[in-house]
């Protein structure tokens, strides 16, 4: 688990920045607003993102069913500027962490699996990629991310 400190800029990273990381970003923004923690920002990017791609249709649908609007999301690739601006980088898979540490070794102490704050289930594991799968996979992914992000918000309230 990350060292307990104040986080003001939180970045979620997945592969294409069209499913998992935009859902996590949207969930965090909603929960931060609800918790009156608007001084904390949330963003997302992808290790292999094609700039400008919208969130996938099923990611948008599942998010909307839960009060999260991804209609304006556009994918962007990870960059040194984005990493440098982030106090905490939460990735969906161990391979994302490995890739980011290789490319940005100075950020190693800020890069963790997204589920490291999770309240339920096994926290040190990946968040499964629903891309190309059915609605149920997106729904499960959303719930998995929601659990992880709720745990993060609980942590933020304590620090």
DSSP secondary structure string for all residues of 18-36: SSHHHHHHHHHHHHHHHTT
Q: Cβ–Cβ contacts within 10 Å for residue 151, how many?
A: 18
Determine, yes or no, domain membership for 83: yes
Determine, yes or no, domain membership for 4: no
Number of domains in the chain: 1
pLDDT at 56 over 80: yes
CB 49 within 8 A of CB 75: yes
Range of the domain at 100: 11-154
Q: Find the catalytic residue in 87, 125, 129, 139.
A: 129
Q: Find the catalytic residue in 14, 19, 116, 141.
A: 14
Determine, yes or no, domain membership for 1: no
- Token look-up 């923004």 returns 29
Whether 14 is catalytic is: yes
Determine, yes or no, domain membership for 159: no
Determine, yes or no, domain membership for 5: no
pLDDT of residue 121: 61
What is the dihedral sign for C-alpha 24, 149, 98, 44? positive
For 76-96, write each residue's pLDDT tens digit: 999 999 999 999 999 999 999
pLDDT at 125 over 90: no
Average pLDDT over residues 39-60: 97
The mean of the pLDDT values for the chain is 94
Whether 84 is catalytic is: no
CATH number at residue 111: 3.40.50.2300
Determine, yes or no, domain membership for 105: yes
Q: Cβ–Cβ contacts within 10 Å for residue 101, how many?
A: 16
Average pLDDT over residues 52-56: 98
Give the confidence band of 126 by pLDDT, cuts at 50, 70, 90: very high
For 14-28, write each residue's pLDDT tens digit: 999 999 999 999 999
Give the confidence band of 158 by pLDDT, cuts at 50, 70, 90: confident
Whether 139 is catalytic is: no
CA 62 to CA 140: how far, in whole Å?
A: 10
Determine, yes or no, domain membership for 2: no
Could you tell me what percent of the chain has a pLDDT over 90? 87
CA 57 to CA 18: how far, in whole Å?
A: 9
CB 36 within 8 A of CB 42: no
CA 5 to CA 158: how far, in whole Å?
A: 10
CB 107 within 8 A of CB 100: yes
pLDDT of residue 119: 77
């Amino acid at each position: 688990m990350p060292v307990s400190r104040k986080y003001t800029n939180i970045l979620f990273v997945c592969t294409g920045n069209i499913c998992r990381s935009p859902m996590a970003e949207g969930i965090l923004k909603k929960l931060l607003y609800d918790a009156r923690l608007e001084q904390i920002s949330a963003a997302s990017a992808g290790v292999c993102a094609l700039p400008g791609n919208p969130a996938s249709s099923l990611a948008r649908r599942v998010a909307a069913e839960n009060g999260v609007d991804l209609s304006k999301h556009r994918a962007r690739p990870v960059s040194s500027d984005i990493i440098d601006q982030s106090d905490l980088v939460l990735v969906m898979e161990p391979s994302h962490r490995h890739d980011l540490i290789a490319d940005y070794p100075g950020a190693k102490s800020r890069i963790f699996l997204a589920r490291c704050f999770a309240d339920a289930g096994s926290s040190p594991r990946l968040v499964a990629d629903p891309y190309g799968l059915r609605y149920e996979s997106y729904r499960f992914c959303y719930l998995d991310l929601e659990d992880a992000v709720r745990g993060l918000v609980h942590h933020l309230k304590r620090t």
